[in-house]
């Protein structure tokens, strides 16, 4: 493992000159530059990133905090993040929390311990108040609403999005509407419920089902839904995967969609399109990209940024 000093000795120059060549600084004579390059080749020099990191104080890494890496919902975010990070020569450290607050804290501790330069939070149990205590150690960007000024937020405006989704349902003639949500107390879920009660005339508490995250949950939901005496005519799902699980189970039971119950999803996953799921298309990949870019900007001195994204209706056959 030849280091910068070995190269200097071999090329008969100072370490500073080697460092300058390495960093493509000007003010190095052609001849010495060539000697250094020759020495690097001969000794098989490989720059040690750890040393660079300690010396500069920059890690070129960002931690991405999310509950589950195998949930397709996060796929598009992460894809956008990964592309943007790679383009800017940054590395993504992934931290899976399984919705555990203790894991979120450990992940954000990376910031404190100078292991990463910034943090991107796709889902959090932690209050913004607590999250702000980490802010002193580096920029934080979240994909949820309600962030304070110190924390960047690139998010779907869930209130506006659900209002527009509900209007799509209403424009198709559905008035009795139910809603399927993931976590009952998350900020986005609260915004969705607000939209529901603001916009749906026949809103009912018991037509909001919470705790549905996966396609398997969607399958379970079918049973629950069908056992209900008074049922809504349409269901608005906060996740395409839950909707698809429900749709598959309804097909198995030979229950006609949308005749028996209409369905509107949320996300816009390709697999949903294959089954004709009507859905609200969310620009998740773009959000991922912007989350990285805003974090990068903050690392370069920019101010935190808040930006709400809008969704659009993607026509299907379940309405």
Partner DNA sequence: TTGTATGCGTTATCAG
Partner DNA sequence: CTGATAACGCATACAA
Point out which residues bind a copy of itself (CB under 8 A).
46-51, 53-54, 57, 59, 61, 68-72, 75-76, 78-79, 82-83, 86, 91-96, 103, 110, 112-115, 214-216, 218-219, 241, 244-245, 247-249, 251-252, 270-271, 273-276, 285, 317
One residue of 38, 47, 202, 253 binding DNA per CB under 7 A: 47
CB of 27 to a copy of itself, least distance (A): 26
Binding span for DNA by CB under 7 A among 54-62, 141-149, 200-208, 255-263: 54-62
Token output for 313: 């209706």
One residue of 10, 20, 155, 183 binding DNA per CB under 7 A: 20
Q: Which is nearer to DNA, 30 or 254 (CB)?
A: 30
Q: Which is nearer to a copy of itself, 33 or 61 (CB)?
A: 61
Q: Which does 274 bind (CB under 5 to 8 A by kind): DNA, a copy of itself, none?
A: a copy of itself
DSSP, residue by residue, 41-55: HHHT----HHHHHHH
Token output for 262: 């209409």
Residues for the chain: how many in total? 319
Q: How far, in whole angstroms, is CA 294 from its chain's centroid?
A: 13
One residue of 38, 42, 48, 303 binding DNA per CB under 7 A: 48
CB of 244 to a copy of itself, least distance (A): 6
Is the alpha carbon torsion for 235, 209, 176, 167 positive or negative? Answer: negative
Give the Cα separation of 171 and 152 in Å (integer): 35
Whether a cis peptide bond, with omega within 30° of 0, leads into 258 is: yes
Contact assessment for residue 42 and residue 57, using Cβ atoms and an 8 Å cutoff: no
Q: Which is nearer to a copy of itself, 175 or 216 (CB)?
A: 216
Strands 177-180 vs 234-237: parallel, antiparallel or unpaired: parallel
Give the Cα separation of 151 and 291 in Å (integer): 11
Token output for 103: 């894991």
122 binds DNA (CB under 7 A): no
Q: Which is nearer to a copy of itself, 78 or 169 (CB)?
A: 78
Q: Which is nearer to DNA, 26 or 270 (CB)?
A: 26
32 binds DNA (CB under 7 A): yes
Q: Which is nearer to a copy of itself, 6 or 305 (CB)?
A: 6
Candidates 307, 308, 303; CA nearest to 150 is 303
Residue 258 burial (CB count, 10 A):
18
Give the Cα separation of 86 and 165 in Å (integer): 35
Binding span for DNA by CB under 7 A among 52-60, 214-222, 259-267, 308-316: 52-60
CB of 89 to DNA, least distance (A): 14
Q: Is 14 in a helix, a strand, or coil?
A: coil
Applying CB under 7 A, the residues found at the interface with DNA are 1, 3-5, 13-17, 19-20, 22-23, 26-29, 31-32, 45-48, 50-52, 54-57
């Amino acid at each position: 493992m030849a280091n910068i000093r070995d190269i200097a000795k071999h090329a008969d120059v100072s370490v500073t000159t080697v460092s300058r060549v390495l960093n493509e600084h000007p003010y190095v004579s052609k001849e010495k530059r060539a000697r250094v390059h020759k020495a690097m080749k001969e000794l098989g020099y490989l720059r040690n990133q750890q040393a660079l990191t300690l010396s500069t104080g920059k890690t070129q890494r960002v931690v991405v905090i999310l509950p589950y890496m195998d949930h397709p919902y996060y796929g598009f975010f992460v894809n956008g993040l990964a592309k943007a990070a790679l383009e800017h020569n940054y590395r993504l450290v992934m931290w899976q929390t399984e919705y555990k607050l203790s894991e979120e804290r450990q992940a954000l501790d990376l910031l404190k311990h100078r292991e990463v330069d910034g943090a991107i939070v796709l889902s959090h149990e932690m209050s913004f108040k607590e999250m702000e205590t980490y802010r002193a150690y580096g920029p934080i960007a979240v994909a949820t609403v309600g962030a304070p000024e110190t924390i960047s937020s690139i998010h779907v405006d869930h209130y506006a999005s659900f209002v527009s989704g509900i209007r799509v349902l209403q424009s198709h003639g559905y008035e009795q509407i139910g809603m399927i949500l993931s976590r009952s107390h998350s900020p986005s879920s609260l915004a969705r419920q607000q939209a529901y009660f603001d916009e749906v005339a026949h809103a009912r508490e018991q037509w909001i089902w919470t705790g549905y995250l996966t396609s398997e949950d969607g399958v379970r939901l079918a049973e629950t839904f069908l056992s209900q005496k008074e049922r809504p005519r349409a269901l608005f799902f906060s996740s395409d995967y839950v909707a698809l699980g429900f749709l598959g189970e309804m097909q198995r039971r030979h229950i006609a969609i949308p005749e028996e119950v209409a369905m509107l999803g949320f996300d816009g996953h390709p697999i949903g399109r294959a089954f004709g799921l009507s859905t609200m298309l969310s620009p998740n990949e773009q959000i991922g990209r912007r989350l990285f870019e805003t974090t990068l900007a903050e690392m370069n001195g920019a101010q935190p940024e808040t930006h709400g994204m809008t969704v659009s209706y993607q026509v299907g056959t379940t309405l």
